[in-house]
Amino acid sequence: MNDKHPIHTTLSSEAIRILERYEQELGTKNIVLERALLGMDKLRFKDKIDPQSIGRIIKRVKTGIKGFDELLEGGIPEGFVVAVTGPPGTGKTTFSMQFLLEGLKNNERCVLFSFEEKADQIIKSAIRFGWDIGEYIDKGYLEIFGFTLLSTEEIIEIFDIFKPKRVVFDSINILSDIGDFRRSSQWRTILKDIKEKKMTGLVITEKKHGLEVKEFDEFDFMSDGVLFFDKKHMNDLDQYKTYFIEIQKMRITKINEMPLEFVFSEHGIEFRVPRELLKNL
């Protein structure tokens, strides 16, 4: 045969020897065999992928929340869908609004699907922290769908037309059967579309328990990341509750699962992260 070189030049020397022996014995090239060897050939990746540079390849989306992005190597990986979960009144919606606001400040289009509140209620709540999100709506950077009763097709159409970079669903638990919805083809279609279009999404879900209970629901397993919000009295003498977040999961990211304290300032949520913790990440 005229061409004795393999069609793939990334095969290891051992794999090439197998192919050459096959050709010598049978006098023909077997492309199927060559591709099979290529699939099993782990050596070919050594010169192509530098594990030390993987972190530099991953594009991360900043939340804009003081003291938090440092805990995620700079932010949430682009294209991720993250579950923001915990008991009611623990800061989940505020955190998600700050996430959208950071995108809006950088001229990114954002969409909020609320299953519980009207659009005007959401705008009024944002004013509490000095966030004039109405300005971004007027400029065409933000779309809010309050009391959302949209079909999967309508949500996908919104993605296609508006082309958002960030999306929030608040709160998914209002659906009658969260387990069935998570397993449904409709939800899988939405998730697939978010990832294919490289949007980054937060899905707010409710828990009936706090951090003291280690139970996970369908959305925790489905999500690329899980942020658990909680609040509690530190002792019987405390008049006010202390707020915490635990980063329970974030793929391709080095995390610390220790609950971290945060406060509500006049500008939203702020984290107070010990320097010692940042050194260990």
Residue-level pLDDT at 271: 87
Residue-level pLDDT at 213: 86
- Helix 152-162 with 185-196: angle, nearest 10 deg: 10
- Helix 92-105 with 119-127: angle, nearest 10 deg: 80
Q: What is the pLDDT along the chain (281 residues), one digit of tens a residue?
A: 444 444 444 556 665 666 566 666 665 656 655 555 555 555 554 445 455 555 567 899 999 998 899 999 999 999 999 999 999 999 999 999 999 999 999 999 999 999 888 999 999 999 989 999 999 999 999 999 988 778 888 999 999 999 999 999 998 865 545 555 555 677 788 888 999 999 999 999 999 888 888 888 777 888 899 999 999 877 666 667 899 999 999 999 999 888 999 999 988 999 876 655 555 55
Number of other CB atoms surrounding residue 179 within 10 Å = 11
Domain regions of the chain by residue span: 13-45, 54-279
Residue-level pLDDT at 278: 53
Kindly report the backbone phi and psi dihedral angles of residue 44, in degrees, each rounded to the nearest multiple of 5, phi listed first: -65, -15
What is the model's pTM? 0.76
User: From residue 184, how far is each of 41, 152, 164, 187 by CA, in Å?
Assistant: 37, 11, 24, 6
Residue-level pLDDT at 131: 94
Kindly report the backbone phi and psi dihedral angles of residue 106, in degrees, each rounded to the nearest multiple of 5, phi listed first: -105, 20
CATH superfamily of 54-279: P-loop containing nucleotide triphosphate hydrolases (3.40.50.300)
